[in-house]
Amino acid sequence: MAFVPRIACLRPSRTQTQLISVAIGGAGRRNSRLSLCRATHGTASSTDAGVLAGSGVPLPPPGSAATSPVWRSSSVVEKYAKMPFTRVTLEELLQMGETHDLVSSARFARDELPKRMARRVKALQNLPFIVGVNPHIKSIYDLYHDSLGALLALPEPVDGPSQAVFTEELRKLVGAHQEVIPVLAKGFKECGKYMTKDAKTMFLDNMIHARIGIRVIAEHHLSLATPSPAYIGVVNTRLSPAVLITSVANYVRDLCELNYGGVAPEFVVAGHTDTLIAYIGVHLEYIFMEILKNAMRATVEFSSRTGRIEHPPVEIVVCKSDEEVVIRVRDQGGGISQKDLGHIWDYSYTTVPKYDDDTDSIFDTQARMGMQAGSGGPMAGLGFGLPMSRIYAKYFQGSLEIRSIEGYGCDVFLRVPNILGSSHVIED
C-alpha cells in the first residue's frame, strides 16, 4: 500500500511566508503555502509503517522559522534513528556473499536499512526551516521518509518467496534514489547560503557518507541475487584499474569532442597496468570520471586561452605496492589559481558558469546521464564532483589529493586499498 506522510496544514505567518518565498524562489511563490499542505492519504498498516504515515508536520512558531526543524518527528522515526546499527566489515559482506544465502542477506538488509534511513530523515528534519522548505530538499526528505515506510511495510524475509518479494521492492527503492545527489546539489545551490559553511559541509559529508553505506548494503544484496563471474555481491574481485580508467577516459574524450567541436586531448596509461584489485567498480568509475573530466576540460580550455596549437596528452600512471594502488592523473591544463585552490573541496563551489538545465553543455549533461546510475555522477556547475570523489576515496580507507602548479597543470593522486584485506566498517 502506498506510504504517504500526513502533514498538518497551518497558515504561516507573514515572516514565514517571506522566508518560504525566498527559499523556493520564483514560480514557487504563488504556491508556497500549498506546498506545506498535503492531504491525508491513509496509513500503510497498523505497524510502524502505519504510525509513521500518520505523523503531523506543523510549521515552526513565529520568530523561529529560520532555525527550527521543518518536520516534527514521528515516534517511529525516533525509534529507528536511535537503534544501534550493526557494524559490519567488508570482509563479512564478502563472506556472506560466498555462502550465497539470499535469505540471510535479505534479512540483514531488512534489519539495517530502516535504521540508516531513519537517521537520514532525522538529519533532514534538523535542517534550518528555510533550507528544509526548498522544493529540492523537501523532495529528498519525502523520498527518504516514504522509503523508510516502504521498508517497514515489507514482511520479514524468511524463505525463498518472501526474499524474492523483498528483493524486488528493494530494487525499486534503489532506483528511486538514483537522483538524490543531483537534486540535493540543486537544493543547496539555491539555499545553502542560509547555513554556515561548516554546518553545510558537516550535513553533506554525513549525508553522502551514509548514502554510500546504504547503497553498498542494498546493492550488495541485489547483486547477490543476480550473480556475475568474478563478483562477490557488488565487489569485483578482479578489477583492473588500468582497464577501467581507459574505458572512462575514452568516454570522456567522446564527450569532450562533442562539447568542443571535435577537439579532445589524447591520454596515455602507463605503470603497473596488469594490476588487479578487489573493489567496488562504480566507486572508482565515479572518481575517474570526475578527475578525467576536469583534466580534459582544463587542457582544452587552457590551450584556447593561450593559443596552444596541440593539446598535451593526459598522463595516467598506475602503481601497485604491497598495501595499496596509487593512480596519478597529470594534465597540462594551466593548474588551479591560488584564489580557487582553497575552495576546491567546498560544496557548491565551481568555476563553471551557473548551472542551468536549459543551457548545460553536452559535456556536462552527458557526464551526469552516463554516471548517475548507482553512484550519482559528476555534476559540472553544481560543485559536488570533487568533494564527493574524496568521500568515495576515503570510504574504503583511501585518499584523493590534488597538487597544482598554476600556469602549468595539476597532478591528482588517488590511493585505494585492496578491500579483501580491509576491515573498514560500513557505518551510517
Name, in order, each residue with C-beta under 8 angstroms of 101's C-beta and a sequence gap of 6 or more: none
Domains of the chain (ranges, CATH numbers): 14-229 (1.20.140.20), 235-426 (3.30.565.10)
Q: Are strands 235-239 and 231-232 parallel, antiparallel or unpaired?
A: antiparallel
For the chain, which residues score pLDDT lower than 50? Answer: 1-47, 53-72, 355-360, 365-367, 369-381
Q: In the numeric block, which cell numbers belong to residue 406?
A: 598554476
pLDDT value at residue 363: 54
CA angle 145, 149, 154 (to 5 degrees): 150
DSSP class per residue in 30-93? GGTTGGG-------S-SSHHHHHHT---PPPPTT-TTTS-SSPPPHHHHHHHHSPPP-EEHHHH
pLDDT value at residue 32: 35
Q: In the numeric block, which cell numbers belong to residue 148?
A: 523508510
- Give, for 402, the enclosing helix (H) or strand (E): strand 399-405
Alpha carbons 144 and 53: distance in angstroms, whole number = 13
Strands, E assignment, 294-366:
314-320, 324-331
Alpha carbons 23 and 341: distance in angstroms, whole number = 30
pLDDT value at residue 66: 33
Rounded to two decimals, the pTM is 0.79
pLDDT value at residue 52: 53
Q: In the numeric block, which cell numbers belong to residue 304?
A: 584556447
Percent of the chain whose predicted confidence (pLDDT) is above 90: 56
